[in-house]
Amino acid sequence: MLLTHTDHGLYCAAGDFFVDPWQPVGRAVITHAHGDHARPGSTAYLCAAPGEGILRLRMGSDAHIETLPYGATTHLNGVAVSFHPAGHILGSAQVRVEYGGETWVVSGDYKTDPDPTCAPFESVPCDTFITEATFGLPIYRWPAAETVFAAINDWWRANQAAGRTSVLFAYALGKAQRVLAGVDPSIGPIFVHGAVHRLNTAYRAGGVALPDWSYAGDAPPNTDWSRALLIAPTSAQGTPWLRRFGDVSAAFASGWMRVRGQRRRRSVDRGFVLSDHADWPGLLAAIAASGASRVLVTHGYTAVLARYLRESGREAYELAAPYNGEQLGEEVD
Ligand SMILES: [Zn+2]
Ligand SMILES: [Zn+2]
Mean per-residue pLDDT for 321-326? Answer: 52
Mean per-residue pLDDT for 30-50? Answer: 97
Strands 315-318, 73-76: parallel, antiparallel or unpaired by DSSP?
unpaired
Write out pLDDT tens, residues 238-279: 899 999 999 999 999 999 998 878 878 888 999 999 999 999
* CA–CA distance, 111 with 109 (Å, rounded to integer): 7
Q: How far is the CA of 108 from the centre of ligand 2 (A)?
A: 7
Q: How far is the CA of 147 from the centre of ligand 2 (A)?
A: 25
Task: Estimate to the nearest angstrom the gap between the alpha carbon of 327 and the chain centroid.
Answer: 13
Q: Which three-class secondary structure state does DSSP give residue 39?
A: coil
Q: Which has the closest alpha carbon to 212: 223, 197, 226, 234?
A: 197
pLDDT of residue 161: 97
Backbone angles phi, psi at 143, to 5 degrees: -70, 165
Write out pLDDT tens, residues 194-241: 999 999 999 999 999 999 999 999 999 899 999 999 999 999 998 999
Residues 6 or more apart from 159 whose CB is under 8 A from it? 165, 166, 226, 249
- CA 92 to each of CA 32, 119, 186, 192: distance values in angstroms, whole numbers, following the listed order: 5, 8, 30, 23
Write out pLDDT tens, residues 134-177: 999 999 999 999 999 999 999 999 999 999 999 999 999 999 99
With a pLDDT cut of 70, the percent of the chain lying above it is 96
Q: How far is the CA of 30 from the centre of ligand 2 (A)?
A: 11
Q: How far is the CA of 36 from the centre of ligand 2 (A)?
A: 5
Q: How far is the CA of 49 from the centre of ligand 1 (A)?
A: 17
Domains of the chain: 4-140+276-318 (3.60.15.10), 145-272 (3.40.50.10710)
Strands 294-300, 17-19: parallel, antiparallel or unpaired by DSSP?
unpaired
Please determine, for residue 51, whether its predicted confidence score (pLDDT) is greater than 50: yes
Ligand nearest to the CA of residue 134, numbered in listed order: 2
Ligand nearest to the CA of residue 88, numbered in listed order: 1
Res. 324 pLDDT band, cuts 50 70 90: very low
- Average pLDDT of the chain is 94
pLDDT of residue 63: 97
End-to-end, the C-alpha distance of the chain in Å comes to 30
pLDDT of residue 330: 41
Q: How far is the CA of 224 from the centre of ligand 1 (A)?
A: 35
The helix-helix angle for 175-182 and 145-162 (nearest 10°) equals: 80
pLDDT of residue 323: 53
* CA–CA distance, 213 with 38 (Å, rounded to integer): 27
